[in-house]
Amino acid sequence: MHSSTILIVLAAGMMIGCPHVSATEPANKTEEFVATEEWQVVAEGQSIPKGLHVRINLQTGVKEAKLLDESERGTALQSKSSDEEKPLSLEHKVDIVEESVRKVKEHRSYAELRKAYKDFQKNFRTDGELILQLVEQYRNLSKTSVQSELKIKLNVLENLEYLLHQIDNALVFIDHGSLDDILLPIVVNETNADLRISAMRVLGALTGNNPKVQIKVFERNFGSHFAQILMTSSNSAEISSALHAFGALLRKFPLAQQRILSTSGTQALIGVLRSSDVELRNKAKVVTLISDLMVEKQSVLDASADAPDTATTVAQYVLLDFETWLQSHGYCTALEAVLSQDYVHLLDQPEAVEQFTIALESTESVCLWSKSASLRHALLTIRNRFSHSQDEYRLEVSQALAKVCESFYEKQIHVEL
């Protein structure tokens, strides 16, 4: 065992340093260590008598001990207490050895971490760099849906969807012309439904709560393209992603609401409600978007008195005649038909029931819900079924639905009286 790799610690009456001596086989750790004048390996956990010469190999961690030579007894390591000098106890000695090993191991781990960190720095990329790398990768692929490249394109779009939720990242994407080069061609011309779905998910991530991007997306007429997809597609996933992107574009953007909903937008949304091929989950998303836009407008108008500096925004919302557009395209009839005809299926979809309940409440000023006997029957049936459920969420939905029913039908009772 080389002297540069050995830490020698003496107990009471021992000194540091000794000539190299070969070690014997480790003793049975269940027995007390029996010291001799030759070095012996100390088994893990084996107790050692006091007053021995102990050393440890810092590379292997092996501890060895032997009896002190006569010449070593005069130079002992001492530890001073507040009362008197006492020889360093065995417990203290072992702690020192183990602490030394721990520090050496930590030092080696730190060196390894530094190397790993340097390797990491070589391959590190900022979000902006990753986005540009993905954009360039997509641009280098063929313009058509070559099957061999489809998986790569979908993977690029999936990574972009993840990165573009952040506002700054979205602006990097927009500033490099990627909206025109990548997303617009997919939404308008792409024949592969999976690519269109992924592109609209990217647009939803890109546009949500990002006014600068909303303007760019609006200027490129994406709203009309979303409306067209909603009116023509029968693909559930495509309708869902189009609704997501459509909502991200319209929310908190009164100019886009005015331009898009006054033309094909409202018709497209209500068309989804009327379609027998669209599942209830997507119809619930439609009424949620309509409800959100109604509530948004009313909230801005209610708060305008306390915020005179928002006069321009308020004026834009005043111009919105969303209620009239809903009525002219038959929103009330369409929603009533969905609930009256499909309420049996809603019994298994409490999330959708909650969305429809909120929509009914927020559009009460537009539709005379209390006049429909079939709607009343559907709502009361769902309420009664949920009220007897053991599921806590269904009970909460039942309570919300009960309040809506009371609001609608108690009024009718009082009028009749």
Locus of tokens 């189009």: 242
Helices (H) and strands (E) in the chain, counts: 19, 6
Q: Retrieve residue 250's tokens.
A: 């319209």
- Average pLDDT, stretch 123-145? 86
Which residues, other chains included, contact 296 with Cβ-Cβ below 8 Å and sequence gap of 6+? Answer: 251, 252
304 confidence band (pLDDT: 50, 70, 90) = confident
Phi/psi-derived region of residue 262, left when phi > 0, alpha when psi is between -120 and 50, beta in every other case: alpha
97 confidence band (pLDDT: 50, 70, 90) = low
Q: What is the per-residue pLDDT for 312?
A: 86
Q: What is the per-residue pLDDT for 76?
A: 43
Q: Does residue 21 have a pLDDT over 80? A: no
Tell me if the pTM is above 0.85: no
CA–CA–CA angle 410, 350, 326 (5° rounding): 60
Check residue 12 and report its DSSP letter.
T
Locus of tokens 């004048």: 37
Q: What is the per-residue pLDDT for 56?
A: 79
118 confidence band (pLDDT: 50, 70, 90) = low
Query: pLDDT tens digits for 331-343?
Result: 999 999 999 999 9
Q: What are phi and psi of 89, to 5 degrees?
A: -75, 165
The β-bridge relationship of strands 78-80 and 63-67 is unpaired
Contact, 93 vs 9, CB < 8 A? yes
For 7, the enclosing helix (H) or strand (E) is: strand 6-10
Which residues, other chains included, contact 347 with Cβ-Cβ below 8 Å and sequence gap of 6+? Answer: 382, 385
Q: Does residue 381 have a pLDDT over 70? A: yes
CA dihedral 69, 74, 76, 82 (to 10 degrees): 150
Residues of the chain with pLDDT > 90, as a percent, come to 60
